[in-house]
Amino acid sequence: MRAVLQRVTRARVSVDGETVGEIGAGLLILVCAMGDDTLDAPERMAAKIAKMRIFRDEADKMNLSLRDTGGAALVVSQFTLAADLRGNRPGFSTAAAPAIATQSCDRVVAALRAEGIAVATGRFGADMQVELVNDGPVTIWVEV
C-alpha cells in the first residue's frame, strides 16, 4: 500500500462540480492499494499516518501527530501512485484490482476513524478535482 501525505491548511475534493469531501487543517492522503499488499496493510497504513509527527509544536518543530493536533484527514483513492514508468506511457498493472482497492481504501478510512481522526473522502473511481493549500509545504511518501 502506498500513500502520499500532504499537510494542508484546507483541502477539498469535487465530483461534477459537487464537493464530496472537505477538511480544514490536517492531511490530504492520496492512497493506492497495491496488488501485493498484505491483509493488514490498510490498518498498518492508518496507524502509521495517525502517529506520524509532521505537525509543528510550540517550538515550531515537526513533533506533533495528526492525533495530537486534532486535525482531519481527506482520503482520496489514487491508483496512479502504482505507475510503472519504464516507458513513456505509465502502466498500472501493480495496482490492486478495483474491488480489492475499494475495500482497502474503506479500511484505511475506518482505521483512521478508529484512531479518533475525523475523515472525509473522495469518491472511488470518479473523475475528481482535488484542491489543497499545502502547509509548509510538507509532502511525504509512505509505503507499508
139 catalytic? Reply is: no
DSSP state of 59: T
* Alpha carbons 136 and 93: distance in angstroms, whole number: 33
* Alpha carbons 9 and 94: distance in angstroms, whole number: 32
* Given 9, 80, 129, 139, the catalytic residue: 80
- Total number of residues shown for the chain: 144
79 catalytic? Reply is: yes
80 catalytic? Reply is: yes
Which one, of 112, 131, 136, 134, lies nearest residue 56 by Cα? 136
- Expressed in angstroms, the distance from the first to the final Cα of the chain is 6
CA distances (Å), 51 to each of 17, 22, 30, 48, 59, in order?
34, 22, 17, 5, 19
Tell me which residues are annotated as active site.
78-80
